[in-house]
């Protein structure tokens, strides 16, 4: 069985086809790694909601989602963005299979609550059916996954893409989880923290150094690391070498969080 790497993509590097052309080349350059892509689409969701005169509220990086928002958000994520990503990767030599959290109940969710707070139609994942993803990988296709999911009553919920990525990485035994963002990593003043323990990350959340959307990434990272994913990597996209460096264990930028069991190892490089 080939090692699996889950990439959650976001940020300005992936607004145009050029970024996906580079990503396709990077995926083809590590043929012994099975790649899974989970995507969000925060900026496009915000614009579409604004176009429909809907206000956006975030709490700790989580978008509060009203019932009236769900149709808009689902169309943006599961149709517009998902189709665009899969098409651009396929056009550049990486066959894909489009899906969302609703595909064959990939993610079954329940309404999210945090410290008594209500987030509307935002879902917490309580069950993962990873088999639908594994079947796509066996066919040589890269799953491209929108995080829109449903509860047991088939009601659609918005799911934070970072949380979806972590849950899936755990369920299908990925060797690593990569968050590609607009920032070079977790910052300590003007410097990037190259490595960060969970204890250090929690301290930075508590003192406000880590805030906003990075809090959601940290929460997802903690979940993945606690459930046997060896490492979580947070980085900007710096072209094709970004993925090759991560897979080879030669990470020169970004922030790495590791499980205690993984020691200094980032990813398995013996498979290259």
The whole-number pLDDT of residue 2 equals: 87
- pLDDT tier for residue 96 given thresholds of 50, 70 and 90: very high
What are the beta bridge partners of residue 258?
231
| CA-closest candidate to residue 112, choices 157, 67, 168 | 157
Is the pLDDT at 57 greater than 90? The verdict is no
Note the pLDDT tens digit of each residue in 117-143: 889 999 999 999 999 999 999 999 999
Helix H or strand E encompassing 187: strand 187-188
Please tell me the distance from the alpha carbon of residue 147 to that of residue 106, in angstroms, as a whole number. Answer: 10
Task: Identify the residue with better confidence: 211 or 108.
Answer: 108
* Residue 235: pLDDT over 60: yes
Pairwise pLDDT comparison (172 vs 10), residue with the higher score = 172
Mean pLDDT on 79-101? 97
| Whether the predicted pLDDT of 4 surpasses 90 | yes
Distance of alpha carbon 214 from alpha carbon 82, whole angstroms:
23
Domains of the chain: 4-262 (3.40.1160.10)
Spatial CB neighbours of 264, under 8 Å, sequence gap ≥ 6: 258
- Banded model confidence at residue 251, pLDDT cuts 50, 70, 90: low
Is residue 61 scored above 80 in pLDDT?
Answer: no
More confident residue, 46 or 11: 46
Residue 268 pLDDT exceeds 70: no
Give the per-residue pLDDT at 45: 93
Whether 252 shows a pLDDT value over 90: the answer reads: no
């Amino acid at each position: 069985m080939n090692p699996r790497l889950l990439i959650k993509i976001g940020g300005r590097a992936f607004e145009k086809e050029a970024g996906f052309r580079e990503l396709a080349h990077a995926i083809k350059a590590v043929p012994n790694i099975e790649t899974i892509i989970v995507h969000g689409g925060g900026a496009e969701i915000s614009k579409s909601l604004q176009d429909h005169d809907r206000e956006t509220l975030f709490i700790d990086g989580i978008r509060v989602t009203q019932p009236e928002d769900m149709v808009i958000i689902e169309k943006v994520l599961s149709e517009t963005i998902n189709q665009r990503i899969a098409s651009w990767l396929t056009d550049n030599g990486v066959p894909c299979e489009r899906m969302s959290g609703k595909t064959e109940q990939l993610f079954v969710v329940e309404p999210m609550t945090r410290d008594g707070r209500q987030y509307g139609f935002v879902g917490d994942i309580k069950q993962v059916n990873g088999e639908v993803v594994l079947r796509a990988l066996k066919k040589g296709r890269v799953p491209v996954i929108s995080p829109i999911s449903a509860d047991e009553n088939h009601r659609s919920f918005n799911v934070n893409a970072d949380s979806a990525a972590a849950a899936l990485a755990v369920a299908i035994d990925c060797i690593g989880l990569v968050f590609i963002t607009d920032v070079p990593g977790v910052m300590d003043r003007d410097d990037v923290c190259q490595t960060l323990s969970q204890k250090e990350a929690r301290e930075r959340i508590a003192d406000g150094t880590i805030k906003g959307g990075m809090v959601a990434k940290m929460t997802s990272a903690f979940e993945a690391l606690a459930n046997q994913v060896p490492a979580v990597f947070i980085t900007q996209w710096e072209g094709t070498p970004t993925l090759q460096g991560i897979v080879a264990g030669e990470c020169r930028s970004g922030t790495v969080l590791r499980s205690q069991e993984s020691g200094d190892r980032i990813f398995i490089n013996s498979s290259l």
